[in-house]
Amino acid sequence: MGVLAGPIGWVITGALVSINLAGPAYRVTVPACVLIATLRLKLKAK
């Protein structure tokens, strides 16, 4: 069970998350969130 909490577990978790993030809904949502975050940082810097 300790292996799942170590580096091997993180690799497995990262792989599963990346597969889920590649779904059709996230192909629009993630870039939109990145764009909004970038715009907010630019506005905050002014």
CA distance 38 to 26: 18
CA distance 18 to 6: 18
For the chain, the domains span 2-45
CA distance 30 to 22: 10
Q: CB within 8 A of 9, min separation 6: which ones?
A: 3
Which parts of the chain sit beneath pLDDT 70? 1-4, 22
What 8-state DSSP symbol labels residue 23? S
Collapse the DSSP code of 46 into the 3-class scheme (helix H, G, I; strand E, B; otherwise coil) and give the result.
coil
CA distance 4 to 12: 8
pLDDT at res. 36: 94
